[in-house]
Chain A
Amino acid sequence: SQQGEEDPQALSIQEGENATMNCSYKTSINNLQWYRQNSGRGLVHLILIRSNEREKHSGRLRVTLDTSKKSSSLLITASRAADTASYFCAPNAGNNRKLIWGLGTSLAVNP
């Protein structure tokens, strides 16, 4: 299975703290994508990291990828209450467009 599995399932932090979420997968990948889902809304693409990349930044987001360990992490620095959402990783294993999803990490940022 290509399924991304996020860890932890739930995370609660205070505003201003950093939040780290991890993802593991089982097969070789083409790229790995991270998405956010606010309550009652669709998923929003955050960042894509290719298999030949080790780290990528976008604003307060930092994503790392270790293909030897088949794992990735998403770091949100200086968290805000508006970051409260579920976060999903989605490995992409081939030239097709199919992504297989885990159950996500539910992040609560307390003011």
Chain B
Amino acid sequence: DAGVIQSPRHEVTEMGQEVTLRCKPISGHNSLFWYRQTMMRGLELLIYFNNNVPIDDSGMPEDRFSAKMPNASFSTLKIQPSEPRDSAVYFCASSPTGPGPQHFGDGTRLSIL
């Protein structure tokens, strides 16, 4: 079975540019999570969706960040405009019904110059 698929794997861009990260969850999973990981702050939950509906976006740092899930097989995380402090690894994870295990993609390593 295919796991969670994220793209791109690496992104380097200049500050001020728009960045779009993409995620395809595991088929049949109805929850999707976006995380950000840095050395200083560890793994932070940004937002999660249940049945394509945003449930908790309290971790989204500011209005420059937005996330969408137009259907059960696709989600995006957008940063506009990007800033150097947004540099991190961004992970997407999905899980089936219930508070069970989450399945992670291999992340997008984002560098904002």
Is the beta-carbon distance between A99 and B106 smaller than 8 angstroms? no
Is the beta-carbon distance between B107 and A98 smaller than 8 angstroms? no
CB nearest neighbor in B for A100: B45
Bin chain B's interface residue count: 20 to 34
A42, A48, A99 — which one has the most chain B CB atoms within 10 A of its CB? A42
Is the beta-carbon distance between A42 and B105 smaller than 8 angstroms? yes
**A94 sits at the interface (CB 8 A):** yes
Is the beta-carbon distance between A101 and B105 smaller than 8 angstroms? no
Is the beta-carbon distance between B101 and A48 smaller than 8 angstroms? yes
Q: How far is the CA of A100 from the CA of B106 in the complex (A)?
A: 19
A45, A94, A102 — which one has the most chain B CB atoms within 10 A of its CB? A45
Bin chain A's interface residue count: 20 to 34
- A40 — which chain B residues lie within 8 A by C-beta? 106
**B70 sits at the interface (CB 8 A):** no
Given A42-B93, A43-B104, A92-B99, A101–B43 Cβ distance below 8 Å?
Answer: yes
* Cβ contacts A to B, 29 pairs, < 8 Å: A33-B101, A41-B106, A41-B107, A42-B93, A42-B107, A43-B104, A44-B104, A45-B102, A48-B100, A48-B101, A92-B99, A94-B99, A96-B56, A96-B99, A97-B50, A97-B95, A97-B98, A97-B99, A97-B100, A97-B102, A98-B48, A99-B45, A99-B102, A100-B45, A101-B43, A101-B44, A101-B45, A103-B42, A104-B42
Additional A-B contacts beyond A41-B106, A41-B107, A44-B104 (20; CB < 8 A): A31-B99, A42-B91, A42-B93, A42-B107, A43-B91, A43-B102, A45-B101, A45-B103, A48-B101, A88-B43, A97-B31, A97-B100, A97-B102, A98-B45, A98-B48, A100-B45, A101-B42, A101-B45, A102-B42, A103-B42
Query: Taking beta carbons and an 8 Å cutoff, which residues of A are in contact with B?
Result: 30-31, 33, 40-45, 48, 88, 92, 94-104
